[in-house]
A and B are shown apart, each in its own frame.
Chain A
Amino acid sequence: DTEVTQTPKHLVMGMTNKKSLKCEQHMGHRAMYWYKQKAKKPPELMFVYSYEKLSINESVPSRFSPECPNSSLLNLHLHALQPEDSALYLCASSLNLAGAYNEQFFGPGTRLTVL
């Protein structure tokens, strides 16, 4: 299995809702990532987990809360989002954080719309 899966594919939520995005990989990768991508822009790094521990938080607002329950799963909990948070949320994984040829594999993304 050489893919990263994400659910749901699309999500529409109100500003008072609580929802979660899910990501899964079974490649034995120990680093997992959340990115946010706005239209016509490159992916922007949000969080990095390495060996199930939060390694990097790129000054993301607390209304986004990541969770790594085990080495295969990565969640992103959403609460009290703003319309400007509407974007494509991408999950990625890599064998580990360090070293060359540390290719990141991306999932298809969750298209989030905040009303």
Chain B
Amino acid sequence: GESVGLHLPTLSVQEGDNSIINCAYSNSASDYFIWYKQESGKGPQFIIDIRSNMDKRQGQRVTVLLNKTVKHLSLQIAATQPGDSAVYFCAESSGNTPLVFGKGTRLSVIA
């Protein structure tokens, strides 16, 4: 399930199931979006990106969906594995502006 509050939102999934991590962004001028994965004690690692002229992009086991109408971004991970356990951040930028990071979601995979 998913919990939101004072702590980092957490999504718990069974190994082998699909995961969906959501992100709402606020700047309607944002035209580039990235998903990063951050494991404990490490820097953020690029997963997948998407431009605003697309609504879907697929990578290896991951898909990013962009809904500009409601300013919503999602990351889908197929056949979730224990190694996918991490904190996932969405980030947005527009034009020359540096990336702005979302709050993050902790994904816990139950073996």
Which residues of A line the B interface, CB within 8 A? Answer: 4, 33, 40-45, 48, 56, 90, 92, 97-98, 100-109, 111
Contact = CB atoms under 8 A, between A and B. Distances in A.
B56 interface: no
Interface in B86-107: 89, 93, 95-96, 98-104
Interface size class of B (residues with CB under 8 A): 20 to 34
Contacts, number: 55
Interface stretch (B14-22, B45-53, B76-84): B45-53
Interface majority SS (helix, strand, loop, mixed), chain B: loop
Contacts of B31: 100
Contacts of B93: 102
Contacts of A104: 34, 46, 98-99
Given A41-B103, A45-B99, 13 more contacts: A40-B104, A43-B101, A97-B96, A98-B95, A100-B32, A102-B32, A103-B34, A103-B49, A104-B99, A106-B43, A106-B44, A109-B42, A109-B43
